Structure 1
């Protein structure tokens, strides 16, 4: 594994406890029956989506780090793949969480666009990596 892939994997692993803390925060809101969470189905759904996407995308990104150095891609494209995999589990959950910060939010605000930016980054990373692996 290259130094760049190892460094990216290390950063992803160090970031993983933030997903755990997020899960603990969700459990705490449920346990306390926090009205800002329990009485707001939009917030519940987006918080759950943010937490789930963060965890799944980090695991996918770690798998991507194992494969990127095997792909027939230029160094620049390999870096694009690493960055795409690394930013998706950050941007998507941020979009879900920050789009409904006010406890009374009945719909997401403009920050929800981060979900789409993160999704695009992940799509570019996965397709680029897939093509690079087919060409290897």
Structure 2
């Protein structure tokens, strides 16, 4: 049986609860795609991308929480390996959603900066975890 540290167990439990939020975002996406919510092409694309990134990154993030427990990483490196992808799961969807908000928006606003920031955090998290797994 896999034994998780208390922080990993609590993090995984909280993250599993966020799936309900992602699920409700799916209902919003159905309204958008069925034309029940007035959106521009940019908004449709960005909302779809935000929803997809949230779902995929949360699942990958849960896996990273588990895999980080199998490393000898400590301190910030362990935190980054375990939760970097989960941080990206907040930053990247937020970049898609917030940068497309506003009636009739046809180009992203300044919140689009969250996308490359999230991509850097994602990369840092997975590389740290990979190195931790390879060196353990």
TM-score, length of structure 1 as denominator length: 0.91
Post-superposition shift, 1:63?
0.6
5+ long unaligned stretches in structure 2: none
Q: Distance in 1 between matches of 2:122 and 2:71?
A: 17
**What is the number of equivalent residue pairs in this alignment?**
133
Contact 2:15/2:62 (<8 A) preserved: yes
1:71 matched to which residue of 2? 71
Q: Distance in 1 between matches of 2:24 and 2:95?
A: 17
Q: Distance in 2 between matches of 1:85 and 1:7?
A: 16
1:47 matched to which residue of 2? 47
Please give the secondary structure, in 1, of the residue aligned with 2:72. Answer: coil
Q: What pairs with 1:94-113 in structure 2 (closer than 5 Å)?
A: 94-113=94-113
Please give the secondary structure, in 2, of the residue aligned with 1:63. Answer: helix
Contact 1:8/1:82 (<8 A) preserved: no
Post-superposition shift, 1:45?
0.6
Deviates more, 1:47-56 or 1:12-21: 12-21
2:85 matched to which residue of 1? 85
CA RMSD of aligned residues (A): 1.3
Contact 1:8/1:86 (<8 A) preserved: no
1:30 matched to which residue of 2? 33
2:56 matched to which residue of 1? 56
2:124 matched to which residue of 1? 124
1:16 matched to which residue of 2? 19
Contact 2:95/2:112 (<8 A) preserved: yes
Post-superposition shift, 1:32?
4.5
